[in-house]
Amino acid sequence: MPTNQLRGVIAAVATAVDENGAPDVARATKLARFLIDNGCDGLNVLGTTGEATSFSLDERKSVMSAYEQARLPLDRMMVGTGAAAMADAVTLTRYAADLGFAGALVLPPFYYKGVPDDGLVAYIDTIVQATAAQPIPLYLYHYPQQSGLHWHVALVKRLLDTYGTRIVGLKDSSGDMGYAREAAAISKSFNVFPSTEAVLLEARAGAFAGCISATANLNPDLCARAWGRGDQSALDAAVTIRKLFDGRPLVSGVKALLSHIHADPALARVKPPLAPFSAADRAAVFAGYDGVRGKRVA
């Protein structure tokens, strides 16, 4: 079981897609390496930005395996293993443990809405028991706008009381900073990561463990300066880039801007049901990014 605690700037890394809609593992691992080498403390692999729930079980395992085969530092990465089917979540979490990922990020089983806390506890209990031989740390993924289910604070406390150190943290993509602060206050050892780099100075002061952000794909160096040095100007530039996506589709937008930054049109591909970023949005976001950074080609 990994003993290190993930902290700092964690990019919710995009998953490159090939012309047939399958994971493009060569491009995916190249991007991962670039992010690690250019300021990210870690990565969240196969999260929402990574389009995890659009891929099959075998495709998700292939991405995980590719990271291991590329000798990327899995001890600096959490990987999304949540699924609507409990057996799939168990399979993916076991696989993450076998490969040596630092943690598994677990969505609730998202199809049925309004389920009782007892049902969500049973879901986590099954994962915990199934991975007891290789007890990979578990991070809860709170994104109720997408999942329709809440890891509400009382439920998080119940899980921590029941499973102790197996539940080590939470990614909060709700945008509700009151919730994030309440969750972070549960325990000093419970690591909460809001989903925006805008919190990095607050996190640096001890409020959070860092951030897990989609737009850290685009500004890892700026985020690193904000987290490592408390650089307000770097943070302001990173937040300005993030705000380019206000009112626009985030995942397809991040991938489109990655294709611009890295001069690789293939990085813009998304998997249905997502659709490509529109031409008008591309023009606006590219111009806004270039206005902040200038054209940067990796």
Distances (CA, A) of 191 to 4, 49, 142, 178, 282: 12, 21, 13, 15, 35
Q: Is pTM beyond 0.85 here?
A: yes
| Cα 170-175-176 angle, rounded to 5 deg | 85
Q: Residue 258: pLDDT above 80?
A: yes
Is residue 177 in some structural domain? yes
Confidence of residue 295 (pLDDT cuts 50, 70, 90): low
Q: Measuring CA to CA, which residue among 94, 99, 107 is closest to residue 135?
A: 94
**Maximal C-alpha separation, the chain:** 52
Is residue 251 in some structural domain? no
How many Cα neighbours within 13 Å face the side chain of 253?
21
Is residue 289 in some structural domain? no
Give mean pLDDT, residues 68-90. Answer: 98
Give mean pLDDT, residues 217-245. Answer: 97
Q: Residue 52: pLDDT above 70?
A: yes
Q: What's the pLDDT at 1?
A: 42
* Domain containing residue 171: 8-229
Confidence of residue 277 (pLDDT cuts 50, 70, 90): very high
Is residue 267 in some structural domain? no
CATH of the domain at 88: 3.20.20.70
Q: What is the Cα–Cα distance from 139 to 103, expressed in whole angstroms? A: 7
Using an 8 Å Cβ cutoff, are 259 and 218 in contact?
no
Q: What's the pLDDT at 168?
A: 97
Q: Which of 171, 179, 255, 289 is catalytic?
A: 171
Q: Which of 67, 95, 123, 141 is catalytic?
A: 141
- How high is the mean pLDDT of the chain? 96
141 as an active site residue: the answer is yes
Q: Please list, in sequence order, all residues whose beta carbon lies within 8 angstroms of the beta carbon of residue 114, skipping any fewer than 6 positions away.
A: none
Is residue 290 in some structural domain? no
Q: How many helices and strands in the chain, by DSSP H and E?
A: 12, 8
Domains held by the chain: number: 1
Is residue 89 in some structural domain? yes
Structure tokens at 110: 């998202």
Q: Measuring CA to CA, which residue among 88, 28, 90 is closest to residue 63?
A: 28
Q: Residue 78: is it exposed, middle or buried by C-beta count within 10 angstroms (0-12/13-18/19+)?
A: buried
